[in-house]
Structure 1
Amino acid sequence: MRKMLVITRDGNHSKRIGDLLDRNEEISARTTFESSIPENDREVDTLFVDVESLLSNNTPVNMALKEMWSHFPSAAIIVMADEEHTTDAVDAVNAGAFGYLTHPIQKEELDLIVDRVRKSNVLHSELNYLRDQFWDEDSLKYVDTRSKAMHDAFAKIRQVASTRTTVLLTGETGTGKSLIAKLIHAHSNRRNKPFISVHCGAIPDTLVESELFGHEKGSFTGAIRRKLGKFELAHGGTIFLDEIGTVSQSVQVKLLNIIQERILQRVGGENDIPVDVRIIAATNEDMGQLCEEGKFRRDLFYRLNVFPIRIPALRERQEDLPRLSEEFIRQFNGQLNTEIKGIHPHVLNIFKGYDWPGNVRELENVIERACILETGEVLQPDSFPPDLIDTQGEVVTAPVKTDLPLKEARQITIDKFEKQYLSSLLDQCQGIIKNAAQKAGITTRQLNKLMNRHQLHRSDFINKN
């Protein structure tokens, strides 16, 4: 039996919820929120609260919710509001409330949101079980998620971590593939052995083989001493090969040999050196397409793709935006010696409408900038990049430019949209014109023409992330 609490000044609202809900639910009601609520009344699954009660002391909505959660830590908070207070209810949802209902409450809407709470509780119960049974304490802040897609990814990590199976992490730039690789290593049998990370795309082609496999003295100009490669340094532990799709054909052959035979030869050497490493590779490219184009060996791809894990983009896990934002605020409070306590609900609302081409890394950078600029205790819109706030907010909230002819006003909106769209697209494609044009469904000539029109330069997006 689930326990529910209704906080409302109107007794009729409490009675209606009780009449509409399943009789198996245990429901109690209060007219006000008090910190002296008995301990047994705090163990509720669902808390219904009128928005007027939530904001009764002119407290910012995010602070009011935190106060509620300090007394009802396990409760899903559902805000109730009359039609004229719907905006306040939406602000509460943006600040972390589970959802909202409008009076008069209808049975269909109530049943729907209660069912969503039930499913969410099941998801969190599973996550709590995994925490108790698997995740170490340092990892809990990373695996706390409200996103089913991320929950599924963490479940796969739990399944594969203790094995020596090769893992291929896929996902857009900035989704946290490096962090996931470290989580896998930290929860493996190799946790006390080295974790060596290699960004393959950042090493010049002429040095990749030497970096990965090492070299013998005199094997090439400048090789004045023997050097151990990353694979030898990772012996007994894990090696993380980021941007694996960028390595050359010759390196691919040697990687295939290491995976199959568990031996390597240094550049310029003749001796076989046994290596015991667990390989985790990552890419933001379509590896299947690279194989089709002959840029990546299909047999190596099959060897790397034994256990694929896709890391969802931030726009696919918007439920985590409030939590991630708060985590970054805590992180930067420590680094910057600031005392930021929250983020303005309007900003969170804008966040949910933004595409986040740079994913979690972009969110982290945006929060860091805001923490530096903010002079108060709550991150305000003015502390965020104008392109983010203005572009996302103006279409919805700015007054229509009725002083202009319709044709001119329409063109201004179109220009702003085109520039934002092209910037996000080029960012995702890292300035590769052919790929960006293909995604946009236009020719490269048309794309170049639009870029010139909006003063966008390819060089600004190459390796931007």
Structure 2
Amino acid sequence: MRKMLVITRDGRRSEEIGGLIDQIEEILTETSTESSSPEDDREVDTLFVDVESLQKKNKSMTKALDDLWKHYPSASIVVMASEEQTKVAVDAVKAGAFDYLTHPIEKEELGLVMEKVRESDVLQSELDYLRGQFWNDDSLEYVDTRSKSMRDVFAKIRQVAGTRTTVLLTGETGTGKSLIAKLIHAHSNRKDMPFISVHCGAIPDTLVESELFGHEKGAFTGAIRRKLGKFELAHEGTIFLDEIGTVSQSVQVKLLNVIQERIIQRVGGENDLSVDVRIIAATNEDMGQLCEEGKFRRDLFYRLNVFPIRIPPLRERREDIPRLSEGFIRQFNGLLNTEIKGIHPQVLDTLLEYDWPGNVRELENVIERACILETGDILQPDSFPPDLLDTQGEVVTSPVKTSLPLKEARQITVDRFEKQYLSSLLEQCNGVIKTTAEKAGITTRQLSKLMNRHGLKRTDFKNRK
């Protein structure tokens, strides 16, 4: 249940504050939450603080906020200020406050801020859970997702990682099956043992058995010495069999025996060798169809398909595109010695609309190319492949997403329109907030809120004419 507290300066603006409390209580009631009393200090999660109460005793804004957090450690602090005190309120946000409201406070603005606080709490709770309960530090950035389908994937990984159960990863090319396999291994009780990856489709048919099971000296022409196979190298660890649907029938028979008996035989050898390996297989093909066509043994498929995990394509997790893009930019800044700070809003809209047949791998390649070509610190449209944009440089539209409920589809459309409209207007006005607000027919504060909501920065549009 949400708990809130209002802190004001003594005896002033009482009418406004009283009205605010009534509005907060109304919203809290509508959302089945409750307010708290000062006795609930450590449980308060939203503080509405009058800006002048933060300026007492000439403390710095950082120190004033820290003092509040000593009493209310879990609270998101929302600062209340007059129009004349906006600069101070902004300073408070820079120092760590969640947001600010200016008098007179409108119910719609208050509701929006409280909804943002709720969303922030949910995301932070999920991240705290992941950090404290399961994921290692190296994995946190990858598992920080806004996609429900990917959260389902990570939930399955948490369930299966600690077992020795065979896992079958399915999904289109470029969705990150290899990375998922490494995540499973890294969070298993075999994490300190080898992780051996085999791309079955990249090995000639005549060499697959030798690669997987090894061979004895003289087993075939060119076998000048004994070679250990991937299964032996993965002993007590994990073997990842990528593109498993490409292996031949003879190899399928031997794989079935390995899974059943945990025993291998090197090519040209006669001795049975025991192996203790955890098997993770992956494919971008329809394994059921391959079985129907007689190209893959059904009994082997059943053995591999003990714990299936489907990795969704990027077009089904578009909400992760901005975060993935930022991660790739940081990655290539280090590799290419560049200092890219972000992506032009028009380009980001395009990335969100594009269907990404090559999935995350294609996005990574596109960002790498743009980082190489870009001469400024913001990735501009000219640095991206022309097939992402039409000849006018406008966003290429995509079909309506009928797979979504009407409410969600409508909101996505509204958000995209707002962002594209504001981006175009800001560019026309060279990033001047006052002029942009006048042309849009809204106040500068409303414009600022919309820009924050859509991740637009005034500096991205300066001197673009």
Q: TM-score, normalised by structure 1?
A: 0.67
Deviation digits for residues 221-270 of structure 1 (CA, Å, limit 9, x no counterpart): 11121111111111111100000111111111000000000001111111
**Aligned pair 1:21/2:47, yes or no?**
no
| Counterpart secondary structure, 1:390 | coil
Q: Aligned with 1:282: secondary structure? A: strand
1:277-288 matches, within 5 Å, as 277-288=277-288
Alpha-carbon distance change, 78 to 314 in structure 1, aligned in 2, over 3 angstroms: farther
Q: Given that residues 65 and 96 in structure 2 are in contact (C-alpha distance below 8 angstroms), is that contact kept between their aligned partners in structure 1?
A: no
Hey, what does 2:243 align to over in structure 1?
243
- Per-residue deviation at 1:172? 1.0
Higher deviation after alignment, 355-364 or 387-396: 387-396
1:69–1:373 distance in 2 versus 1, CA, 3 Å? farther
The sequence identity of aligned pairs, in percent, is 70
Report the counterpart of residue 224 of structure 1 in structure 2: 224
Q: State the structure with more CA Rg.
A: 2
Change over 3 Å in CA distance of 1:323–1:396 after alignment to 2: closer
Q: What amino acid sits opposite 1:148 in the alignment?
A: K
Aligned to 1:36: 61
Q: How far apart are the structure 2 equivalents of 1:71 and 1:346?
A: 30
Deviations 1:389-445 (A, max 9, x none): 237954669xxxxxxxxxxxxxxxxxxxxxxxxxxxxxxxxxxxxxxxxxxxxxxxx
- Whether the 8 Å CA contact 2:166–2:306 is kept in 1: the answer is yes
Kept in 1: contact 2:149–2:312 (CA 8 A): yes
Asked if the contact 2:61/2:95 (under 8 Å) is kept, the reply is no
Residue 168 of structure 1 and its aligned partner are, at CA, apart by 0.7
CA separation in 1, counterparts of 2:313 and 2:5? 34
Counterpart residue number, 2:142? 142
Q: Counterparts of 2:116 and 2:315 in 1: how far apart (Å)? A: 21
**Structure 2 equivalent of residue 437 of structure 1:** none
CA distance in 2, matches of 1:20, 1:158: 40
1:377-416 superposed matches below 5 A: 377-390=377-390, 394=394
Consecutive aligned runs of 4 or more in structure 1 exceeding 4 Å deviation: 2-5, 14-20, 29-32, 40-49, 67-73, 77-80, 103-107, 113-117
Match of 2:312 in 1: 312
- Which whole-Å CA distance do the structure 2 matches of 1:146 and 1:267 have between them? 48
Distance (Å, rounded) in 2 between the aligned partners of 1:314 and 1:69? 34
Residue 324 of structure 1 and its aligned partner are, at CA, apart by 0.9
Q: Which runs of 5+ in 2 are unaligned?
A: 7-15, 36-45, 398-465
> Which fold has the larger relative contact order, with Cα–Cα distance below 8 Å and residues 6 or more apart in sequence?
1
- CA change 1:253–1:336 in 2 (3 A) is same
Contact kept? 1:18, 1:27, Cα under 8 Å: no
Give the SS at the match of 2:169: strand
With over 3 angstroms needed to count, the CA separation of the structure-2 counterparts of 1:114 and 1:290, relative to structure 1, is farther
Deviation at 1:160, TM superposition (A): 1.0
Which one-letter code corresponds to 1:243 in the other structure? E
Q: Distance in 1 between matches of 2:204 and 2:278?
A: 24
**SS of equivalent to 1:21:** helix
For the 8 Å contact 1:342–1:379, the answer to whether it is kept is: yes
On the 8 A contact 1:217/1:223 being kept in 2, the answer is yes
- Measure the CA separation in 1 of the matches of 2:383 and 2:230: 42
Gaps of 5+ in 1: 6-10, 57-64, 81-102, 398-465
253-262 vs 265-274, greater mean Cα deviation: 265-274
- The 8 Å contact of residues 47 and 78 in structure 2, kept in 1 or not, is answered as no
Distance in 2 of aligned mates of 1:280 and 1:127: 26
2:152 equivalent in structure 1: 152
Corresponding residue for 2:190? 190
After superposition, the Cα gap between the structure-2 partners of 1:47 and 1:248, relative to the gap in structure 1 and judged at 3 Å, is: farther
1:381–1:29 Cα change, 3 Å: farther
Whichever residue aligns with residue 137 of structure 1, its letter is D
Task: Return the offset for 1:346.
Answer: 1.6
Q: CA deviation at 1:388?
A: 0.9
User: Shift in Å at residue 127 of structure 1?
Assistant: 3.7
